[in-house]
Every structure is written in structure tokens, then in C-alpha cells.
Structure 1
Amino acid sequence: MANNAGDLMNDVLRTQTENMATLFGSLMPAAGKADPDSAVQWAKIAARMQSLWTDYQVEQIGKVTDSPPHYADPVKWIATAEAVFRQLPLASPQVQQDIWDEVIALVNAVSGQFGFGPRGSSGPAEEPELPRRDRRFADPQWQRQPFFALLHQLYLLLGEKVMSLAEAVEDVEPARKAQLVFAARAMVDALSPANFPLTNPVALGHAAETNGESLLRGFENMLNDLRKGQLTHTRPGAFVLGENIAVTPGKVVYETPLFQLIQYTPTTAKVLKTPLVIFPPWINRFYILDLNAKKSFVRWAVEQGVTVFMVSWKSADPSMAGLVWDDYIEAQIDAIDHVRERLGVPSVHTIGYCVAGTTLAATLAVLARKGKADKVASATFFTAQVDFEDAGDLKNFIDDQQIETLGTLSPEGYLDGRYLAATFNLLRGNDLVWSYVEKNYLKGEDYPAFDLLHWNSDVTNLPARWHRDYLRDLYRDNRLAVADSLTACGVPVDLHRIATPVYIQAGREDHIAPPESVWKLTRYLSGPWTFLLAGSGHIAGVVNPPSSGKYGYWTCDGAPETLPDFIAGAAEHSGSWWPHWREWLGNVDPTQVPVRGRRKPGGRGDKIIEDAPGRYVSTR
């Protein structure tokens, strides 16, 4: 078994390279018998692949460092996979016999569908009725060819057995068991026959139809990803910041070494007196909230008469190695103060998304402790957690070994964003890793032009010291949930001091910030709060414009004590939750003012730095 997830990924890529070479070796003779011209074509393809591989190896000479490859170690948690798999009762004679009996039964059942074996007297079925279905094997070629039908059915059976054994393990700590189950799922997904050219009939079919061109394109795609150390999800060059993404008009009106502050140009004659400051997560680029005109939360909020400011965090570099959580809290307070001073208002509305929402809660607690809570009129939390006891799948990456590993991955004081991107991708491995391996490596398909996937791949580096502290203090030790256990900006942090009106949005299918975890914020607040459960997950649950008509949301007018109580008493609403939030915001303070002076950035006498989206969003 591979020593870690990086070895696994690299083994998979190397195996695919070897399999492609073997595939050419097996297909070329058949092609030569059928058509000499085809044999020449296959020979050219094979030579081109060999040349590409040689060029790549030459490029890597002299690039070897002590640091692990970027593809390798973002998921070192699988370093424990060998040990935890030993806990599966695979050596039990009864387990082995049960598995063997089911394998024999499956072989007989599948063989019978094709006119073989005990059920074969009636001849092969035109449309086999196979016992297991999975969308990875939906193409008819997986069902109609006996070898591949049996192959993927056996894989699904054995995968089920591995998962059931992992889930049945007893006498281990819950966190350890969760790691075991997650590692088992990752390994099962990685070993799917759909992920390898010699065991994928669809890839073989494309190779035959294109005389090897599809495999050549796929091989080029794979080498390009190896070069950049990151899986490609969308067509390179399809999106340009400020041209077809992040295009809402605005100006950068303030800048520090850590963030830029963007003010968006109003489109209404009057706006709410109290402006809105949005804090996006610094583990991603801010323009998830400004993808395009139809999906942009920013543009929509501006059209609803809200003066919108956006913080654009700088991607970490060696100069930011010493940053800690206090620096991000102070940055949020700095942005709040600058907006208050710029517009001459006593307070601002705020939004904190994901980790920036976690930090916003700490910011509110700090302001309350210092007697300055009135600087914030309201706080909205998008999929944000403060109590990490039930923090979802990401906790599988958080233990002493993984936190220690971060030090080896951050020799210059910052964590390369590609590690984190790979971690998040593996949380949905079949959707965000293996489906692209199949489509773009094995089948050589073109990449789509999809703005959300472009954003997902637009990684951001993190200050390593702060990131380790965050994982240890919040995710592992859950100290933010304990009053005065943490200090920030010179004062203890107690979330119970937050009396600011709060709006909490959670995603019903969120696997990064599960709704059960997000709900817990309500247990720490001393002021009024509104909880809303949105359809879909961590991204689509937030970015759901009214024009899409998707997903829906749930509200509850009672006073539920738990999330199940909320769900039991909730009313379902169709479409986007954004208008519900805007109505709530207006109820906090309905006062409107004309758009004058600095309400419109870049006017006479207003010093601005540059047009939106600014420089920081494009720095690596």
C-alpha cells in the first residue's frame, strides 16, 4: 500500500502512463492487421507520447527538492491508511467465506445475463439487468461487454464490503473511526476501473475511434497538470478577471499589506444608510460572490439599494509568515472603521463567509469586550462555524500528525494553496478528482468553460503559522466554543457577549460546514438571531440568485432549541433566500439616504487606488 496519499496519487498517474503505453502496444498490432495506415498513425501517436514523456522528465531534472510534490501531500492523512485497514476483519474465515460466496453468486448472475454459466441457456440479453448501478458506469459499454460488466460489478461489490467493514469497526475512538471510513472511501474511489485506461471500455472505445488521438490529448492534459501541481477543471484562459468574471463596477478605495477594500458603484438613487462590508474566506478568492452578472450576490445587493464593500484578501507570501489570527481580526476591524469614517456612519452591516464568518464572530466578541460593539449594526454568517465538535469531513484531516506535517509543507512560512485545494477536492473525490481523470486524461475531452470550476481552481496561499493555530485551536481543540479560552487583540474571546442582531445561513447539504454545526452558533448569542436553512451545499446554497429559481429554503417562526426542532417547525419556500435576507437587513435599519459624495466611489476629490477587482485577487 502507498505510504501516503501523495504516493497513491503519483502511483495512479504513473500506472496510467504505463497502462497507456501497454494499451498502445496491444492495439497497434490489431490496427496494423486491419489497416497499414492505421498502424502508421498509432506509431506516430506512440512516438509523440514518448517524446512528451521524455521532455517532461528532462524538465524535472534539477527541480527535485526536499519538499514533497504539490500533488502529493495535501492529504497525508492516508499515511495512516495501512494501519487502520488492519483493523478490518478481512482475515476472518467467516468474512472471507461470505465475500467469496457473494462473489461467486455475482459472477453467476452476471454471466447468466450474457448466455454463460448456469443461466446461459436462453442466450445473451440485449440489455443486461445487472444487480448494481452507479453513475460512473452508466455508459452502455460498461453493461454490454461481458468482461467490463463483470469487472465493474465485482468492483462495486467489493467496495461495498470494504465500506461496510470499515463502518462496523468497534473499539476505536470516533475520530479515528471517521478517519478510517473516510480513508476507505477515498481508496475505494481511487481504485475504480473507470480511472484506468485498460479497464475503461469507454476510454478504449475513444482510443480506437480516434486512432489514439484521444489518449494523446489525455496524456498531454495529465503532463500539464503534473507540471503545475494541480488538477485542471476548466478550460485555461476561458476566464479573465474584470472581463468576464468579477465584473461588477467598483473601485479599490483602501489597501493594506493584508487586504484591499473594494467599494461597488451604486445603481439606485437611494441606498440604505448603513453600508455593508463583506468578509469572504481567505482560503478562496472573493469573486465567488461576483462570478458573473446573473450569479453575482454583489451586483444583486447593489441593485437592492445597498452600499457594498468587499474585502479582497492578499494571497500569502513569505512576508506574511508571522501572521496570526489576531491579524485577521484586526483587519476586519480596520475595514469596518475605514468604511465608517469614509461614509460618516456610526456602524456597518457585515457578512462573514465560512472561515471569515468564524473570525467575524471573534471580531464581534472582541468589540463587545472592548465596549465597541455598536460599530456593527448586524452580522450575517454564510455557512460559518464557531463550535467545531461536529465540523464534518474536514475533521478527518485534523490530528497531531497532520498539523505537524504542515510545517514540512511550509518551508517559506506559507502554505501553498494547491495543498488545500486538493484536500477540498478529495472531500468530493468522484466529482472533483476522478471524473476529471476519466474525462480529461483517459478520454482526452476538452475542458469546459465553467466559471465556478475556474474559481474553485484559483487557489490562495495561507500563512502557515496562522493556519496551524486555526486547525489546532479551533478544529482540534474547539477552544472558540469555550468562553475566554482564547485571546485576541489583547482581550479574552467570549462569544456569549455578542448582542448584535445576527442572520445565520446554513446549507442543507453542506459537507464542509454541516448545518448541525452551523446551527450551534445560535447557542452562543445573547442578542436576536434568525436562522435560515438553504437548499444545496457550501457554495450553491449561498450563490443562489433569484433568477435561477433553484433549491428553495426553510424558515421557522418559533423558538426552536435544536436543529431538528427547527426542521420540524420549518416552512419551505421556493427559490432564492436572498430576498428574505434583504428584508431582514432593512428591518434592522430601514433608513435610506441619497447617493452623494463618497457613496459613489471615484467622484471628484475621492482618491481611489484602482478599478475593481484590484490587484490582490490575482496575486499568487
Structure 2
Amino acid sequence: MQDDESAVPTTQAVSGASHGSGREVSRASLREQARLRDQHDIEPAGALDRALHGSLAQLTQGISIVGLTLAWMDWGMHLAQSPGKWGQLLDKAWRKNLRWCRYAGRAPFESGADPCIAPLPQDRRFSSPAWQRWPYHLLQQAFLLNQQWWHNATTGIDGVSTHHEDMVTFMARQMLDMLSPPNFIPTNPDVCEAALREGGANFLRGAGNLADDLRRNWKGEAPAGSEHYLAGIHVAVTPGRVIIRNRLMELIQYAPTTAGVHAEPMLIVPAWIMKYYILDLSPHNSLVRYLVDQGHTVFMISWHNPTAADRDLGLDDYLDDGVYAALQCIRGLFPGERINTVGYCLGGTLLAIAVGALASTTDATVNSMTLLAAQTDFSEAGELMLFIDESQIDWLEDLMRQQGYLDNRQMAGAFRALRSNDLVWSAAVNQYLLGRRAPMTDLMAWNTDTTRMPFRMHSEYLRKLFLSNDLSSGRYQVGGRPVALSDIRVPLFGVATASDHVSPWRSVYKLHLLSCCDLDFVLTSGGHNAGIVSEPGHPGRRYSYGQRRHGSCYVDPDRWLDQTEEHEGSWWPAWSAWLERVSTGGTVTAREPHGDLGPAPGRYVLER
């Protein structure tokens, strides 16, 4: 294959002639429209405003101060005119104080006295037995009661918009998390005990850990221990070859491990927010290796890590030079064979767009589609929606316009804020106060190997998908025609993860509303990443598996969960069995990769 752009198809070339030429919108014309929309940037007033906003956004990590202020004002002004809510909050404060006083009075004399409030199931800050001793049990009970009161204070106020209520609740929780007793030496019994036991050595180790982290952060180096999980050496080591390379992606074909393989090849489209090798970690938990061992001819897209020069890359470019280029290449290698497609996270959303666009034509390239933790309806996209409104996106666009991309550290900050208990404060206590480094794992190391997002693509992603929800509403267009996921007729397999904070499972479940074909759906334990990397033999894994056949009535997610049997173990074998059923072309002799662009994992995965 050639290492140039001339071999890459356009959207229209893949979509076929059914996109009538009168309605086709070329990539050049789309860019011209975008250029005209941004024309006011060269005007002095617009340029000055955007420069100021971009500079301020640098200081706030892309968070809109105006958006936060509007949320607090909406909450504060409606609370100010709600005397009934004042009375309710005063009553709750009085009752909580009485409960705490009664508990404080009896706890010293009653061994194992029932607490007045229990932490939430996911809150592990007070799990140590030391928190049940005096006086620390009084501190944790007071904090939890205060936390509950603030939740009552920020919710249930008539007139406050749902978005602003969610933002204020989130910000109040962030402030409480920062001030929680475990974060301070005198009020953390584990830290005090460690200091007495070790003579303060834990603080010396913690200071060393802090200095090392600050140095690495300043130099842009990976966290300590990541050097043991380097792509192509320790992880992403499944044998294969790069068979095409263009400006946006490399396509890897993996070497077979079985004498015979399924006739249908498989294309995996990963997200480009992070590196592709989440699906090819260590040999024991590599999804790619598992699929190859099951007799599949696997192809993987490895995305280029954008720079400022790539600022004008849009979603149409990722479609043309990514999914469609890969499909065309595979179709050229194996003429007449239909392709099993797999998409993860944002890669799954892009794949759904591509397959939906192809479904409106006579193209029969795709045999099946699997979506892993991928959203197609963004109306209930979870806590990420806290960062999605007109003010926030405009602020972020001005930041990206200055840089040409969204920096990986700016993206990581938003994700850490969603789980600040675990990813910020608990980690700081363990590393800097207790002096304990958590052992690095392949998944943790991958999570630090971040990427950038080009300005135009990320702006389109936020506006068209998150803010306007164009895909599920039939407004998202490819080649001048709207994409409707209900046009898809190939078998679908959807996977959601129970504790996903990126793609909440009920949001992923909306695929049941958007598709009209046979759909097999799995809800697995774990989060956005660990739930997908769920190899057989992994302890503690479980999943629920249901099937919806074409023509069946809709079942809401809660009723589906109640009615669906839960299984112990990994969901991978269940998916493998489904792939066996939909791959009806029989077996052929194993196909060796013949790329001349170097061995897997290729060049792009190593870009920093």
C-alpha cells in the first residue's frame, strides 16, 4: 500500500453513487463554510475577545468562569426567594446536629454503636477501622452529615435549571471533597499512626514522591513506573504489520495464530482520545490477542496524535481517512468478504455514523457491528455534560483556537474532577502523606499515555453530538444526507459498563431506541476501561446479557436489568459465541499480513 493520501477514499467514494451529486457536499466546501464562519476572527474586536478568552481559559484549564457564575447565580437567586426551602434546610441542620450529639454522647460507652449516617457505597475514604475510634468517628460522622446537608441545599429548588443544579451540586461536592478530614494530617488517623510508627519517615517518602511528580510534570514525563509498560516492548506486543499509513491513521493487520480463520475479517476502530492499545495491553489481557486466538483476521486503526498543524481536521476527515480508508483497504485485500466491525468509545460513535451512512446505500461491506462503551444518543451523557453548554464550549473553542488542539493535560483534568475522591485526594493522601506509591499496572500506564484533540474535530464533536445530539435526532449528515441508525440492518452487539463515568450505561442502552435490527446487549461490571478489558479468568467479573430481536417491543433499562440473568466471569466468550453465529462465511486458510510499513505497533502509537 502507498504511504500517501492519494490512496485514501473520500466519504462520497465509499458511500456510493446513491448520494446524488446534486446533494453532495465536498470536503473542500465544508472547510470553506467553516472558514467563512470563522472569518470574524480576523476582525480586531473578535480577535481581541478570543485572545482574552483563550488566555483566561489557559489559567482555568478550559473551565468557563462565566458558566460557573451563571450556575451559582441561578441557584442563589432562586434560593433567596424560597423561604420554605430555608425553613427546610434549617430544620435539617437542627436535626442533623441533634443526631450527631446523641451519637457523640453514646459512642464512648457503647461498643459498635450504630452510626447516624453511613458513607455512600462508592466512598472508601472512611473504610479503615481507625475511623471507628474516638475522636475520628465523630469527625467522619460530622463530615458525612454536612455533606448530606449540602446535597439537600443544592437540589430541589424550584426554578433552577437542571444543568445549573447539576453544576452547583458538583462544585459543592468538589469543595467538600477538598476539605474532607482524610486530607489533613491531624484529622487522618492512618496518617497519624504511620507518623508515630515510622518516626515521620512516611512524610520524607511523601516529599520525595511529590518532588518527583512535580519534576515529571514540569518536564512532561510519564509518571513513575510507566517505563515498565512501553508500547511495542511490554504492551501492544501482539505480532502484526502496518499495511497502510495516511495523515490520520495506520492500519495494523495482526498475524494469525490458527491454521484456519473466519472468512469475515474484523476491523476495530478505537477512540483517538487515548492510544489504541487499551485493546492490546499485556498478552494475558489483550482483546486483540484473544480475538486472533479465536480465529479472526483482526485489523486495528492506530490514530495519529494531532499537533497544532492538524487544527482543521474535522469529523469528516476521521470518517474519510479513518474508517472508510480502512474498510476500502480490507475490501481490496479480501474481495467479496463482508467485514465484522468493532468500535470503542468515540471510535464506536464514529463507526456507528459510518455504518449508518453506508446502510442508506447499496453498499454491503459490513457484516456486523459491535459497540463497546459507545454512545449514539447524548441526551443523558452523565457528568461529562457538566462541562457542555454554550458558554463552556465557546470558552473551550477559544482555548483550542489558540493552541490548535485540546491538550491532553487539560482533558485529563476534567476526567479527574469527575472522580476527585479516587483520582485526586485519595491518591494524594496515599502518595504524599502516607508515602505509599500505588504499584503501576499496564492499565494505569496506558491511562497516562494521553493524546491531543484537534480544534475543529473536538468543536464539532462537542457541538454536533453532545450539545445538539444531532446523531440520534437525524440531523447528522454524511455526504449531504442525514444518517439514521434505524437504517442499519446488520446484527448489533452492544457493551456497556456498570460504573462508567464517561459513557453511562443507560446512555449506551439507548441504542435499543435508535436501532431496528437484532441487538444483543451486555452490561458488565467495572468502569469505562476496566469493564472492557475483562479477560477470562479475571476475578470478580460478572455481566448481564440480553437479546432483542427485530420487531420486539422496547424494554426500559431498569426493567431490562431486573429481567436479565447475571453471569459470573468475562463477557468475552459470550461475544465470541455471537461472532461465531453472525460469521456465516465458513473458514479459510489463515491470512498472513503483508504490509511493508513496519511491524506493529507502528509509528503513530509512539508519538508524544
TM range (shorter): 0.7 to 0.9
Alignment of 1:198-277 (within 5 A): 198-227=186-215, 228=217, 235-277=225-267
Superposed displacement of residue 306, structure 1: 0.3
Superposed displacement of residue 375, structure 1: 1.3
**Alignment partner, residue 362 of structure 2:** 371
**Alignment partner, residue 282 of structure 2:** 292
Q: Which amino acid aligns with 1:131?
A: C
**Alignment partner, residue 190 of structure 1:** 178
Query: Would the aligned equivalents of 2:521 and 2:545 in 1 still touch at CA under 8 Å?
Result: no
Distance of 2:90 and 2:137 partners within structure 1? 23
Distance of 1:328 and 1:592 partners within structure 2? 32
Query: Would the aligned equivalents of 2:285 and 2:533 in 1 still touch at CA under 8 Å?
Result: yes
1:70 and 1:610, CA in 2 relative to 1: closer, same or farther beyond 3 A?
farther
Distance of 2:69 and 2:139 partners within structure 1? 28
Alignment of 1:498-537 (within 5 A): 498-537=488-527
Alignment of 1:520-599 (within 5 A): 520-548=510-538, 550-556=541-547, 559-564=552-557, 565-595=559-589, 599=591
Superposed displacement of residue 536, structure 1: 3.3
State the Cα deviation string for residues 167-197 of structure 1 (Å, max 9, x = none): 3222222222222332332232222121233
Superposed displacement of residue 617, structure 1: 1.5
**Alignment partner, residue 327 of structure 1:** 317
1:85 and 1:199, CA in 2 relative to 1: closer, same or farther beyond 3 A?
farther
Superposed displacement of residue 231, structure 1: 12
1:153 and 1:568, CA in 2 relative to 1: closer, same or farther beyond 3 A?
closer
**Alignment partner, residue 38 of structure 2:** none
Distance of 1:593 and 1:151 partners within structure 2? 65
Superposed displacement of residue 392, structure 1: 1.5
1:493 and 1:105, CA in 2 relative to 1: closer, same or farther beyond 3 A?
closer
Distance of 2:224 and 2:497 partners within structure 1? 25
Q: Which amino acid aligns with 2:410?
A: Y
Distance of 1:78 and 1:145 partners within structure 2? 39
**Alignment partner, residue 150 of structure 2:** 162
Query: Would the aligned equivalents of 1:71 and 1:226 in 2 still touch at CA under 8 Å?
Result: no
Superposed displacement of residue 103, structure 1: 2.2
Distance of 2:95 and 2:517 partners within structure 1? 61
**Alignment partner, residue 15 of structure 1:** none
Query: Would the aligned equivalents of 1:70 and 1:418 in 2 still touch at CA under 8 Å?
Result: no
Alignment of 1:292-371 (within 5 A): 292-330=282-320, 331-371=322-362
Moved more, 69-78 or 166-175: 69-78
Distance of 1:162 and 1:352 partners within structure 2? 40
State the Cα deviation string for residues 581-608 of structure 1 (Å, max 9, x = none): 2222222233344445xx212xxxx342
Q: Helix, strand or coil: the match of 1:548?
A: coil
1:131 and 1:253, CA in 2 relative to 1: closer, same or farther beyond 3 A?
same
**Alignment partner, residue 403 of structure 2:** 412
Query: Would the aligned equivalents of 2:520 and 2:545 in 1 still touch at CA under 8 Å?
Result: no
Q: Helix, strand or coil: the match of 1:136?
A: coil
Query: Would the aligned equivalents of 1:281 and 1:353 in 2 still touch at CA under 8 Å?
Result: yes
Query: Would the aligned equivalents of 1:233 and 1:447 in 2 still touch at CA under 8 Å?
Result: no
Query: Would the aligned equivalents of 2:154 and 2:168 in 1 still touch at CA under 8 Å?
Result: yes
**Alignment partner, residue 435 of structure 1:** 426
Q: Helix, strand or coil: the match of 2:237?
A: coil
**Alignment partner, residue 387 of structure 1:** 377
**Alignment partner, residue 461 of structure 2:** 470
Superposed displacement of residue 612, structure 1: 1.5
Distance of 2:64 and 2:238 partners within structure 1? 36
Superposed displacement of residue 66, structure 1: 4.2
Moved more, 492-501 or 354-363: 492-501
1:401 and 1:503, CA in 2 relative to 1: closer, same or farther beyond 3 A?
same
Distance of 2:512 and 2:471 partners within structure 1? 14
Query: Would the aligned equivalents of 1:508 and 1:533 in 2 still touch at CA under 8 Å?
Result: yes
Structure 1: give runs of 5+ residues left out of the alignment. 1-64, 115-121
How many residues get paired? 538
1:223 and 1:164, CA in 2 relative to 1: closer, same or farther beyond 3 A?
farther
1:141 to 120, 123, 130: 130
Distance of 2:61 and 2:205 partners within structure 1? 23
Superposed displacement of residue 145, structure 1: 3.8
Moved more, 75-84 or 409-418: 75-84
Q: Helix, strand or coil: the match of 2:569?
A: coil
TM-score between both structures, scaled by the size of structure 1:
0.80
Q: Which amino acid aligns with 1:347?
A: R
Distance of 2:137 and 2:571 partners within structure 1? 44
Superposed displacement of residue 133, structure 1: 4.0
**Alignment partner, residue 119 of structure 1:** none
State the Cα deviation string for residues 26-83 of structure 1 (Å, max 9, x = none): xxxxxxxxxxxxxxxxxxxxxxxxxxxxxxxxxxxxxxx9466688446866565643
Identity %: 35
2:268 to 273, 278, 281: 278
State the Cα deviation string for residues 429-483 of structure 1 (Å, max 9, x = none): 2222221011112222123122222222221111122112211111111111122
**Alignment partner, residue 616 of structure 1:** 604
Q: Helix, strand or coil: the match of 2:104?
A: helix
Q: Helix, strand or coil: the match of 1:251?
A: strand
Query: Would the aligned equivalents of 2:280 and 2:287 in 1 still touch at CA under 8 Å?
Result: yes
Distance of 2:183 and 2:60 partners within structure 1? 17
Superposed displacement of residue 308, structure 1: 0.6
Superposed displacement of residue 490, structure 1: 4.1
Superposed displacement of residue 299, structure 1: 0.6
1:297 and 1:614, CA in 2 relative to 1: closer, same or farther beyond 3 A?
same
Q: Which amino acid aligns with 1:404?
A: D
Distance of 1:572 and 1:152 partners within structure 2? 35
**Alignment partner, residue 14 of structure 1:** none
Distance of 1:232 and 1:202 partners within structure 2? 29
Q: Helix, strand or coil: the match of 1:291?
A: coil
Superposed displacement of residue 95, structure 1: 2.6
Superposed displacement of residue 313, structure 1: 1.0
Q: Which has the higher contact order (CA 8 A, sep 6+)?
A: 2
Distance of 1:436 and 1:245 partners within structure 2? 25
Superposed CA RMSD? 2.8
Moved more, 570-579 or 431-440: 570-579
1:66 and 1:213, CA in 2 relative to 1: closer, same or farther beyond 3 A?
farther
Query: Would the aligned equivalents of 1:127 and 1:144 in 2 still touch at CA under 8 Å?
Result: no
Structure 2: give runs of 5+ residues left out of the alignment. 1-53
Distance of 2:565 and 2:127 partners within structure 1? 37
Distance of 1:468 and 1:557 partners within structure 2? 35
Q: Helix, strand or coil: the match of 1:590?
A: coil
Superposed displacement of residue 557, structure 1: 6.0
Distance of 1:567 and 1:257 partners within structure 2? 43
Q: Which amino acid aligns with 1:440?
A: Q
State the Cα deviation string for residues 237-285 of structure 1 (Å, max 9, x = none): 2322222222211122211111111111110000011110100111121
Does residue 106 (structure 1) correspond to residue 97 (structure 2)? The answer is no
Superposed displacement of residue 534, structure 1: 2.6
Distance of 2:226 and 2:250 partners within structure 1? 26
Distance of 2:173 and 2:514 partners within structure 1? 35
Superposed displacement of residue 326, structure 1: 0.4
State the Cα deviation string for residues 512-554 of structure 1 (Å, max 9, x = none): 2223222222333343332333333322332222222621322
Distance of 1:617 and 1:568 partners within structure 2? 42
Moved more, 441-450 or 91-100: 91-100
TM-score between both structures, scaled by the size of structure 2:
0.81
